[in-house]
Amino acid sequence: MNYFRSLSFLFVTLFLGSQLSAQAPDSSRIVRVLTYNILHGKTLKGDFDLDLIASVISKEKPDLVALQEVDYKTNRSKKYDLVTELGIRTNMSPLFARAMYYDGGEYGEGILSNYTFLTTKNHPLPYTEGKEPRAAAEVNVVIKSGDTIRFVGTHLDHEADGHNRYIQAEEVNRVLKRDDLPTILVGDLNETPENRAMQLLFKDWERSFDDNAFTFPSDEPIKKIDYVLFRPAHRWRVLEKRVIDERVASDHRPVLVVLELLPDH
């Protein structure tokens, strides 16, 4: 009887140990991701406060940040290079990707990174004549485990009819599905989950949040338009997800997702 009892105890111990080992995240494979539409530095108080935006970002200790509505030396933003200024304030490497020339400067996407950029690309997205140009900023980085991942930030069209959003989502899929490199796609996609562009993206990308994780407007959110998506599904595990309760720094709430890159078995 004692023999079988000992065998049973050993089996349970080994089983639980293997389960815990399989579930415990590898810190070298953890990536903290933040997406934030920063309203070109203008707060809901009507002032221009990069220090506030930087403090919101730094508090979450992200490894990669995608910023939308980023100005580069425009008149309305006091000729600041916003992503570089935020990089200085957060001690992260900055990258700006122009979507269009605007107000004496440029306007587009920003990325902040704690990793060195291996490669960077700026993908112009299609749009109909007379509408705002849009872009997707892509970077490849090597995380602490030595693995290379792709991180992409974008800001899709805001028009009500949704046509440009759909063709932009098609283009995002076209350029990012070229290989199976583990990829994180984030940004202000300007569309709620049930609509066409998001349904198209959901066919190829995994979502990190429930559909009712509202992000806009920041003071009283009533809809979800800011997203963190990833692919392939078998390479990523969501460890944490949070819409940050910040009501003043921008008209959007920042979204944090902590992901673990899983081995490619």
Report pLDDT digits (tens) over 135-151. 999 999 999 999 999 99
User: Has residue 160 been placed in a domain?
Assistant: yes
User: Has residue 39 been placed in a domain?
Assistant: yes
User: Has residue 15 been placed in a domain?
Assistant: no
Whether pTM exceeds 0.75: yes
Strand partners, 76: none
Residue 172, amino acid: V
CB burial class (10 A; 0-12, 13-18, 19+) of residue 31?
buried
User: Has residue 20 been placed in a domain?
Assistant: no
Strand partners, 197: none
User: Has residue 125 been placed in a domain?
Assistant: yes
Name the pLDDT band for 5 (thresholds 50, 70, 90): low
Residue 213 vs residues 111, 187, 245, 246: alpha-carbon distances, Å: 23, 14, 12, 14
Q: How many domains does the chain have?
A: 1
User: Has residue 3 been placed in a domain?
Assistant: no
Question: What is the per-residue pLDDT across 68-102, written as a single tens digit (0 to 9) for each?
Answer: 999 999 999 999 999 999 999 999 999 999 999 99
Domain that holds residue 126: 28-261
User: Has residue 250 been placed in a domain?
Assistant: yes
Residue 22 is predicted with a pLDDT of 55
Question: What is the per-residue pLDDT across 216-250, written as a single tens digit (0 to 9) for each?
Answer: 999 999 999 999 999 999 999 999 999 999 999 99
Residue 119 structure tokens: 């490669």
Question: What is the per-residue pLDDT across 193-225, written as a single tens digit (0 to 9) for each?
Answer: 999 999 999 999 999 998 899 999 999 999 999
User: Has residue 11 been placed in a domain?
Assistant: no
Q: Would residue 46 be called left, alpha or beta, if left means φ above 0 and alpha means ψ between -120 and 50 degrees?
A: left
Name the pLDDT band for 16 (thresholds 50, 70, 90): very low
CATH code of the domain covering residue 211: 3.60.10.10
